[in-house]
Amino acid sequence: MDKIVFAGDSFTWGEGLELFIENDKWISQRKKHSEWDELSVIQDDESVEFRESHRFPRLAAKELGMVEIVHKNNGGSLSSYWKFMDDRKNIPDVKAFVIQLSQANRDAIHLTWECKCDVCTKFDWANIDDLFSAIKNNSRKPLRDYIVSVMGCDSVGNEFYRRFFLWLSWQKRFISNLFIEYCKMLEERAPVYFIDTWDVEEKNWINTTPYVRERMIPLVDRKGNYHTSWGNWEKTFDVKWIAEMFPETKNFHPTPELHRYLAKSVVDFLTDKI
């Protein structure tokens, strides 16, 4: 049977959808803090099946008469997408790769977790969030000292931050270009398409490159209008996050309705393309 590989983070994986199961256990959970640390320890067969059958990869694949392939674990970044897709690029009958963009700060500084350079091996494949944490919280002193020295500074101050944010802008472009080159190789196997990042604060990242823009799946809203920007699309929904329905959960992941519209967007775009 034909297959679609969906590479994404917790939005693709369907975190929080189990909170919509109509039984005493999950109705009660809606009144508690319910991010993944809390949800992971109370999973059962019913919640796994419910989540997988209500997330947009299953809904889209079913409508297209195909089978979806999604990472077995929650979360993700371009770095993990790379490995996930590379491990599956030779699976028979894969007709498309759909990549849901996430946050650049989650990525390893050289994109792949398998980089063998001195920096990556010395600092345990630190990602950009790790760099921020080391700087702001004065944690992981060897990593912090290394960043300061690379910026040509003696300490963390105004000049350091000026140089660091210039470097960060370059770093995001570097990561984007590496990932795009990988996707071009992947296209020898099957077409590659993208869903915009949910992080509306991301600027001048991979979602602005011509390669990705040409392959961006437009997201359909309730009125039948299409948006290539996640930020513009989500504004058309009165309620978009689980926490807006169940505030005590503090779970800011898409509701079942958003998953249905994501699935419809994928189906509308891929019909007649694969």
Query: From first to last of its 274 residues, what are the pLDDT tens digits of the chain?
Result: 999 999 999 999 999 999 999 999 999 999 999 999 999 999 999 999 999 999 999 999 999 999 999 999 998 888 889 889 988 888 999 999 999 999 888 888 888 878 888 878 877 788 888 888 888 887 788 888 888 998 999 999 999 999 998 988 888 888 888 899 999 999 999 999 999 999 877 765 788 899 999 999 999 999 999 999 999 999 999 999 999 999 999 999 999 999 999 999 999 999 988 8
Is the distance from CB of 173 to CB of 211 less than 8 angstroms? Answer: no
CA-to-CA separations, 19 to 53, 73, 177, in angstroms, rounded: 14, 18, 38
Residue 181, class by beta-carbon neighbours within 10 Å (0-12 exposed, 13-18 middle, 19+ buried)?
Answer: exposed
From the CB of residue 198, how many other CB atoms can be counted at a distance below 10 Å? 24
Q: Where are the alpha helices (DSSP H) in 56-209?
A: 56-64, 78-86, 118-122, 128-136, 141-150, 158-186
Query: How many Cα atoms sit within 13 Å of 72 on the Cβ side?
Result: 1
